[in-house]
Structure 1
Amino acid sequence: MHLGEKIRYFRKVKNLSQQELAAGICSIPYLSKIENGVTEPSDEIQQHLAARLEVRLESINENEMIQKYIDLFYSLYQRDHKSAEEKFNALAASPLQSVDDDILHKIFKSIYIMMTKLETQGVHELLDEVSHIGNVMKGEKAFYYLLAKGQLSYFSNDYDEAFHYFLKAEKQLVNHSFQEWEKGYLLYMIGLTANQLYRNIVALEYTARALEIFEKNYFFKRCADCRVILAIVHLRVKNFDESANQLLLAETIANTFNDDVLHGVINHNLGSIATHKGEADQAIELYSKSLEAKEKVTLSAKIMTIFALVKEYEKTNQSAKGLELIDTWLKQVQTDPLNRGFELHFLYFKHLFKYGEINADFMINELLPYFEQRNEWIHLADYYPILGKYFEKQQKYKQASHYYSLAFDALKNMHQVGVTYV
């Protein structure tokens, strides 16, 4: 990157026009020539431009600089948030930054926010600032940028986009040298995202590869995360014994580290096994234990368990308990737009618990359009037949046939996008 590109980068990042940057320093045409690499500015003009931009334009040792950010990433990978905070604050304290330093800082600040706070506030803006200058996103920086973009999409519940970014990041592994733990983390994120997309074969492949790396590096908590994903996939194909076996291996790690949150995840998935076996009472007990263990975690980390418990109360005709659970959490769910899907699920079940029948108008006008717009065939395959049965009971056979047909199409679409769920 030549000097002019650096100046243009920081001018755009700081939202300055050429006129605003050049004022009192040089002419606008001269600044344009500098930015396009046609001419080199004098030392004096360079110093004035750098001062107005409040940056450092001279080159620094990029390898030394990037290693500091990799050290921060390693602490995040290890879930050592105290160490990560100290390293991040030290990096943020530097008053002057080169272009590369500025890019790396914004990328890793994004990763830091998402991996410590499990949120995306401010991340879109940070990544947008570095993405509009395409020619600076090369080499190792491209890998971390794509990883951050994948994380952002994942935390925004856009799993298709996340999967796309993670696979692009994987291609960077071929051309550049990365540490094994970095490769393992990316493979884990690909497996995790494939799991969310119900792409079971892909999830198994990538998660198994990540597990192998984590085991070689003796990072047992990451191993437990992989075991949970493997358990979920085996559960989907009704391989209950192998699913339970993976969870028992994860539980050994949870017991060793006295990890309540991991215990909560394990109990949730043991509850899922009970659900699939039709053991509703056992499922309710396990989901309830999961919520107790996850008491101190964010809503996003326990909302799946709440929803699973609601469905079990519906199956067992425990309307009062179902209503109580929904009323406890519905307002919190409604405060976050990312939980809109769960809000609709809860509103559907609230009406069902309260009146003993579905609200067909709500389903047709609000619930179905939301999931249809997002192509969430898994949920549509559940809700379409419910409406089909509802209209069939009312002897409205044309409408019933319509929704049964949509249910068939939803199952077909699941198959076409690689969803294997039985």
Structure 2
Amino acid sequence: MNLGEKIRYFRRVKNLSQQELAAGICSVPYLSKIENGVTEPSEEIQHHLAARLDISLNYLNENEIIHNFVSLFHSIYLRDYPSAKDKYYALINLPPRSVDEDILQKIFKSIYIMMTTEEIPGVESLLNEVSYIEDVIKGQKAFYYFLAKGLLSYLKKDFEEAIKYLYKAEKFLEEYHHQEWEKGYLFYMIGLTANQLYYSIVGLEYTKRALDIFEKSYYFRRCADCRVIIAIIHLRIRNFDESVKQLRLAETIADSFNDKELKGVIYHNLGGIANHKGETHKAIELYIKSLEAKEKEPLFSKVMTIYALIKEYEKIEDNEKGLVLIETWLDQVTENPLYREYELHFLYHKHIFTHGKHNDSSINFMIKELLPYFEQRNEWVHLSIYYPIVGSYFENTQKYKQASKYYSMAYNALRRLHDLGVTYV
């Protein structure tokens, strides 16, 4: 990036017009020539422009700049949040002295926010500010940029977009000799995302590669995270014994560190195994244990377990407990658009617990709100469950044409799942 490009970059970042930057320093046409690389300004004009932009136009070693930010990333990776917080504010409170530093500051600010809070407000605008700079997708910065974009897409539940960015990040691993822990974290994220996409083989491959790196560095908590993913994939292919084995190995680590959040994740997945083996009451016990272990955790770590427990209460027709659970959490999921999926699930079950199955109220809600949302997002797992319910309702009310329509849509959803390699819903 030449001098003119740097000046133009920071002028846009500072939200200044050419007239505002040039005022009292040079003419607007002259500034335009500088930004377009047509002319080289004198040292005096460079000094005045840099002062107004509050930057340094001198070259700074990119490797030295990256080192400080990678140290922050490493603390987050280790889940050493007090250290990460100190490093974060030390770096963020310093005004960027160069374009590289400003770009890295935005990228790592995004990574810090996402990895410590799993929240995304403001993150997209930070990454958009640097995305139009062609130079950002070159060099060592590209790895962190694509990793950040992958994390953002993952948290937005756009898993197909997420894995594309993570694969792009992977291309920079060997070229710039990233550290083993960085490779491990990227492989873990690819495995995690592949799992969400039901790419079982890819998920297992990358998660095992991450696990191998974490075991060699004795980072056992990350090892436990990997074993949970491997357990979920084995559950998906109905290899229950291997799934339980992986979860018990993860539980040993959770016990060693008294990690209640991890134990909550393990209990949730053991509940999932009990559910798919038809052991409803055991599943309920495990989901309740999961919520107890995650009591002090934020909503995003609990919402899947809450929904799983609601479904188990529906199975045993315990409407009272189901309604209490929904009323306890519905307002919280409604407040955050990221939980729109769970809001719809909760509202559907509220209809069921209140009015019973196959009623006009629940079917109208499904047709008008629930199904369109999941259709727009191609959520075939949920659609394969909900379509037959609507089809059965119309069949029971002797509206056979409409029943046939929804049964056909259910078949198509199951076919899509089969193409993805999903063996159960």
The CA deviation at 1:121 is: 2.2
Residue 96 of structure 1 deviates from its aligned partner by: 4.6
1:91 maps onto 2:91 in alignment: yes
Segment of structure 1 superposing worse, 248-257 or 39-48: 39-48
Q: Where in structure 1 do 4 or more consecutive aligned residues deviate above 4 Å?
A: none
Equivalent position of 2:177 in the other structure: 177
Kept in 1: contact 2:136–2:145 (CA 8 A): no
Residue aligning to 2:422: 420
Is the Cα contact below 8 Å between 1:149 and 1:162 reproduced in 2?
A: yes
Do the aligned partners of 2:395 and 2:403 also contact (CA within 8 Å) in 1? yes
What's the CA shift for 1:155? Answer: 1.4
1:32 & 1:137 partners in 2: Cα distance? 25
Residue matched to 2:391: 388
Listed as ranges, the matches of 1:198-347 within 5 Å are 198-347=198-347
- Identity rate, percent: 67
Residues 316-345 of structure 1 deviation map (CA, whole Å, 9 limit, x = unaligned): 111110011000000001000011111110
Q: What amino acid sits opposite 1:95 in the alignment?
A: P
The separation in 2 between residues aligned to 1:388 and 1:75, in whole angstroms, is 52
What is the one-letter code of the residue matched to 2:142?
Answer: A
Letter in 1 for 2:55: V
- Give 1:419 shift: 4.2
Q: Structure 1 pair 250/34, CA: closer, same or farther in 2 (3 Å)?
A: same
Which deviates further from its counterpart, 311-320 or 34-43? 34-43
- Distance 1:96-1:372 versus aligned 2 partners, 3 A rule: closer
User: What is the match of residue 116 of structure 1?
Assistant: 116
CA RMSD of aligned residues (A): 1.1
CA spacing shift, 1:400–1:96, aligned 2, 3 Å: closer
Q: Secondary structure at the match of 2:247?
A: helix
Offset of residue 309 of structure 1: 0.2
5+ residue gaps, structure 1, are none
Report the secondary structure of 1:175's partner residue. coil
Q: Which moved more, 1:126-135 or 1:306-315?
A: 126-135
Deviates more, 1:116-125 or 1:376-385: 116-125
List per-residue Cα deviations over 1:362-420 (Å, max 9, x = no partner).
Answer: 1111000000001111100010011111111112111111111001111122234x342
Provide structure 2 residue ranges, at least 5 long, that are not aligned to the other structure: none
Is the counterpart of residue 133 in structure 1 residue 133 in structure 2? yes
Q: Which amino acid aligns with 2:151?
A: Q
**Distance in 2 (alpha carbons) for counterparts of 1:82 and 1:289:** 28
Say which of 357, 364, 373 aligns to 1:370: 373
Are 1:350 and 2:345 counterparts? no
Is residue 96–residue 102 contact of structure 2 (8 Å, CA) maintained in 1? no
Q: Which AA in structure 1 matches 2:364?
A: D
> Any idea what the Cα deviations from partners look like across 1:140-184, whole Å, max 9, x if unmatched?
101100101111111122212111111111112242210111011
Cα distance, 1:93–1:210 mapped onto 2, change above 3 Å: same
AA in 2 matched with 1:409: N
Partner of 1:407: 410
Counterpart in the other structure of 1:161:
161
Counterparts in 2 of 1:305 and 1:96: CA distance versus 1, 3 Å:
closer
Equivalent AA in structure 1 for residue 423 of structure 2:
Y
Please state whether the residue corresponding to 2:140 is helix, strand or coil: helix
Task: List aligned pairs for 1:38-49, cutoff 5 A.
Answer: 38-49=38-49
Moved more, 92-101 or 388-397: 92-101
Deviates more, 1:84-93 or 1:245-254: 84-93
CA pair 54-385 structure 1, distance change in 2 beyond 3 A: same
How many aligned residue pairs are there? 421
Preserved CA contact (<8 Å) 2:191 2:205: yes
Give, in whole Å, the separation in 2 of the partners of 1:392 and 1:414.
Answer: 24
Aligned to 2:12: 12
